[in-house]
Structures are given as structure tokens and as C-alpha cells.
Structure 1
Amino acid sequence: MKILVTGFDPFGGEKVNPAYEAVKLLPDTIHGAEIIKLEIPTVFSKCGPSVEEGIRQHQPDVVLNVGQAGGRASVTIEKVAINFADARIPDNQGEQPVDELLQSDGENAYFASLPVKAMMQNVREHGLPCSISYTAGTYVCNAVMYNVLYMCAKRYPNIRAGFIHVPYASGQVVDKAAGTPSMTLEAIEKSIEYAIEAIVDEKVADRVSAGETH
């Protein structure tokens, strides 16, 4: 099995992006699966094509995109991406779509085709906090998740795909407000690694709710 794991470059004034910094720490093989690491740009119009270039080059079985969600307290496995872009801040090339569709012929939303509950459970079973998220936002993280799932639906039906959000790394919150959530890069990397184990081992989650009331 080949798994293409991507992480974004820094954005929003940050000097690092814990997504790709953690991806770089992943082992080259996880439970026998080859891990291919790729940095992609935090740019609406370029993130999808960058991933597709990686797909064409490496022919992976799975694509796992990883992005930063500053303010979240732990790694979160995304369930769904929506066909909508509404950027509060410009991306790294000044693009700032407002109330725009990502794909004119795409579905309103696509669900991750990875075992999100099993991924969450495997992270938790290794002693790290993890939850499922039902919104990937409306910025570039949602855009790449949606566009990759759109590609899989339209052009790469044999590829499974999904997205993981990670919190700030500890070093990023030194100058932020007291109590800003963060994790060490090592804990972020391990969380991603354990999530990937569940994909490779085709783990099946217990029948438990991971839903939210708001």
C-alpha cells in the first residue's frame, strides 16, 4: 500500500506549519505501507493541482491531507468537506474567495472515504486525545479536502482520501494568549501515525457515537 500524506506550508503570519512539520517526522513505512510526504501550498487555486501532481507521480492507494487548525486542542479527523469557499483572510498568494463554489459540477459535500472512527479510536487507544470534526472550515483546508475527494469521485475511483486537522505546535503559542491550546510536534506526529495505522490495518471502529450537539 502507498499513502500520500500532505501538509501545508506556513500561512497567516506563522513561521511554521505544524501540519507539514509533523508529516516530515512520520516514518517512511507504517505497518508495511509506504509513506510518501509532500508539502503543498496554502493557496486555493494550487493546493488541489499540487496533490493531483503527487497522485500522478506516485500512484497512491490513499491520500491523507493534513492541515493546521489553530485553537483546536487535539488532532481531529475530518468527516466531511463542503463545496464552498469563504476566506476570512487571503491565502499565501492573496486569493480570497467569498461565497464561491469550489467545483461547479461537484456535489454539495463529500464524505471522507477513510475509516474516521477507527482512526480516532486507534489514536485514543495509544493515550492521545483525538476526536472527529464535522466541519473542515471554509478556508484552504476544506478546499483541498473537497477537491481531492472530488478528484477521487471523478477521476481516481480506486483512491481513498481524507483529512486530519492538527492544533498549534507548542512553540507557536509562546507569544499567544495564555491557555491557547497546543501539542508537541512529537505528539502530533504520533497521532497522525496511529491514525494511519488504522487505515493500513483496515480497523473497524466500535459502534459508538462521535457526534456533537452543536
Structure 2
Amino acid sequence: MAVVLLTGFEPFDGAARNPSADAVNAVLDDYDGPHDLVVATLPVAFDASARRLRALIERHCPDVVIATGLAGGSSHIALERIGVNLIDARIPDNDGAQPVDVPSEVGGPAARFSTLPVKRLVDELIAEGLPARLSLSAGAYVCNHVLYTALGAIGTDAIAGFVHLPWSTGTAPADAPHLAETQLARAVRLVVDHALDTETEEPGGSIW
């Protein structure tokens, strides 16, 4: 039985809810295995999110880390390929910090590739009627910082990656693209179920 650490984020930028936290908690509510699922909500703050994530990884020693976050304005579920060693915050985080052009990890590599089978996961989501796509990088805000941190903190045999979600129906601003809460939870559950299907896919999603 694998240990899967699944995270979402708290609300930020004036929103009352974050659909990523809603989705991961919905998955937990209905989860029936086969893995040992650990769910947590991370702060939308650069320093605090990294500390919390590293503490969760140290405590639970997960085989898989799946972090999720909001990509407001997107109409698709996005599987991220790369976490970059860059923070360039367009808005302050929830602790008021707004770093610009600084590394996520001083001395770390320029980028780290997701070790989820991202192409296969996109195919699984599309086969279930869910709008999904590959995304090259997770940006330069807290989502990317968490992906980069997770990939550096896991053991050499563990898997980690990031899923960006659109607004949900109940959280979307007027006229913003969104998906139903049930669709977002279904998408996250499918990623959990298929995260260990890595036999023929390279990190970042290239096929051998």
C-alpha cells in the first residue's frame, strides 16, 4: 500500500474559498483505497508553504506527492511538467511577502521535472470526459514554489507533481471559466488512482 500525500491551498487574493482545497477534501471524504491517503491544505505563502510541505513529507514519507492549486481563468485541468527555481510574485502572498526574481532554493537546479506520468494522466482525464492539457511550467508563484520544493524534498524513489485546477462552479467570479465541483474532485481522484502508472514514461512526460 502506497502513501499518497495530496494537498490543496487555502483561499488567497480576497477569495472566500479555494477550489483546490475543496477538491482534495472531497476526494478524502469518499476515498476507499487502495492507498493510504494523507490530505492537507497548504498556506498561500512562500516560506510557510515550503515549511509545511517539508514537514508533511518528513512525517509521512509519502511514495507520491500530488499538489493541486488554482489557475483562475483556465478552462482546463493542467498537468504541470516543470517546476522552475524562480519566484516572481505578481501579488503578495497571504503573509504579505512579494519576492521578485529570487530563487525558490538558493543553489538548486534551474528546474525540476514532475515525476508524475503527466501525458498518461492527461489521456485518462480526457477519456473520462474532463478537459485536460499539459502545461510546461507551474508559473512563478506559490504553486510553482510548492512543486519545486516537493521535487527536492521527496526521496529518490518517490513521485511528485502538480495539478492546476480551474475555478469551481461555486467559487468562480462572474463570467470566469469553471468546472463543477464534482468534476474537479473526479479529476483529482483519477490522478491519485493513476499516479503510480509510470512504467513507460520519462519525467516530465516524454515517452521512451
Instruction: Calculate the TM-score normalised by the size of structure 1.
Output: 0.88
1:28 correspondence with 2:22: no
User: Is the deviation greater in 85-94 or in 194-203?
Assistant: 194-203
Looking at structure 1, the residues matched to 200 and 122 of structure 2 have their Cα atoms a distance apart, in angstroms, of 11
> Number of residues paired by the alignment?
200
Are residues 204 and 129 of structure 1, via their aligned partners in 2, closer, same or farther at CA, if it must alter by over 3 Å?
Answer: farther
One-letter amino acid of the counterpart of residue 102, structure 2: E
In the alignment, is the contact (CA less than 8 A) between 1:118 and 1:204 conserved in 2?
no
Q: Matched residue of 2:195: which SS?
A: helix
Instruction: Name the % identity.
Output: 32
In the alignment, is the contact (CA less than 8 A) between 1:65 and 1:145 conserved in 2?
yes
CA deviation map 1:142-173 (0-9, x unaligned): 01101111223xxx222210000000111222
1:10 correspondence with 2:11: yes
Q: Matched residue of 1:4: which SS?
A: strand
2:48 to 46, 49, 52: 46
By how many angstroms is 1:135 displaced?
Answer: 2.1
Instruction: Calculate the TM-score normalised by the size of structure 2.
Output: 0.90
Are residues 107 and 130 of structure 1, via their aligned partners in 2, closer, same or farther at CA, if it must alter by over 3 Å?
Answer: same
Q: Which 5+ residue runs of structure 2 have no aligned equivalent?
A: none
By how many angstroms is 1:4 displaced?
Answer: 0.2
Looking at structure 2, the residues matched to 160 and 52 of structure 1 have their Cα atoms a distance apart, in angstroms, of 15
Looking at structure 2, the residues matched to 107 and 29 of structure 1 have their Cα atoms a distance apart, in angstroms, of 38
One-letter amino acid of the counterpart of residue 141, structure 2: Y
By how many angstroms is 1:203 displaced?
Answer: 6.8
In the alignment, is the contact (CA less than 8 A) between 1:2 and 1:33 conserved in 2?
yes
1:182 to 178, 181, 188: 178
Looking at structure 2, the residues matched to 107 and 37 of structure 1 have their Cα atoms a distance apart, in angstroms, of 28
2:153 matched residue in structure 1? 151
By how many angstroms is 1:200 displaced?
Answer: 3.6
1:160 matched residue in structure 2? 159
Looking at structure 1, the residues matched to 119 and 60 of structure 2 have their Cα atoms a distance apart, in angstroms, of 27
CA deviation map 1:120-153 (0-9, x unaligned): 111111111111111211110001101111223x
Looking at structure 2, the residues matched to 29 and 115 of structure 1 have their Cα atoms a distance apart, in angstroms, of 22
CA deviation map 1:64-103 (0-9, x unaligned): 1100000110211100010000111000000100011111
In the alignment, is the contact (CA less than 8 A) between 1:120 and 1:195 conserved in 2?
no
Are residues 125 and 181 of structure 1, via their aligned partners in 2, closer, same or farther at CA, if it must alter by over 3 Å?
Answer: same
Q: Matched residue of 1:89: which SS?
A: coil
One-letter amino acid of the counterpart of residue 169, structure 1: S
Looking at structure 2, the residues matched to 198 and 151 of structure 1 have their Cα atoms a distance apart, in angstroms, of 22
In the alignment, is the contact (CA less than 8 A) between 1:85 and 1:102 conserved in 2?
yes
One-letter amino acid of the counterpart of residue 7, structure 2: T
Q: Matched residue of 1:54: which SS?
A: helix
Structure 1 runs of 4+ aligned residues shifted over 4 Å read 201-205
In the alignment, is the contact (CA less than 8 A) between 2:79 and 2:164 conserved in 1?
yes
One-letter amino acid of the counterpart of residue 159, structure 1: A
1:196 matched residue in structure 2? 192
1:65 to 64, 67, 82: 67
Looking at structure 1, the residues matched to 5 and 102 of structure 2 have their Cα atoms a distance apart, in angstroms, of 28
By how many angstroms is 1:35 displaced?
Answer: 1.4
- Answer 1 or 2: which has greater strand percent: 2
1:169 correspondence with 2:168: yes
